Amino acid sequence: TGNKLEKYDFSRYIKFEYKHEVSNRYSVKIANIQKMGHDTVPDSFVPVIYSELNIADKPSLFISRSNENLLTLGTIVSPLLNCVQKS
């Protein structure tokens, strides 16, 4: 009744290219986004999420290598996600 909190699962496979700018800052170009089967986020929410994650339009991300196969991507103020590199 009234203010029910909605819960969603956001799960996307994002293929991207990146280009080094300076230090650990990279410009990112999204090549493909695939919605996973268990993703329940309404399509109307997705642009807001991408904007909040700083992956809308021409994003700049900071990428640092945690180990041989793990990259951490983030904004200037916060890590956003970890990526495992496939060989």
Looking at every residue in the chain, the average pLDDT score rounds to: 85
Residue with tokens 């996600």: 81
pTM: 0.60
In a domain, 60, yes or no: yes
- Cβ burial of 34 (10 Å; 0-12, 13-18, 19+) is exposed
Q: Does residue 58 sit within a domain?
A: yes
- Say how many domains are in the chain: 1
Determine, yes or no, domain membership for 3: no
In this structure, what token pair is assigned to residue 42?
């309404």
Condensed to tens digits (0 to 9), the pLDDT of residues 18-51 reads: 899 999 998 888 888 899 999 999 989 988 887 7
Sign of CA dihedral 14, 9, 44, 37: positive
Q: pLDDT-derived band of residue 78, with 50, 70 and 90 as boundaries? A: confident
Determine the pLDDT at residue 21: 93
Structural domain contains residue 79: yes
Full residue range of the structural domain in which residue 24 is found: 12-84
- Is 6 part of a structural domain of the chain? no
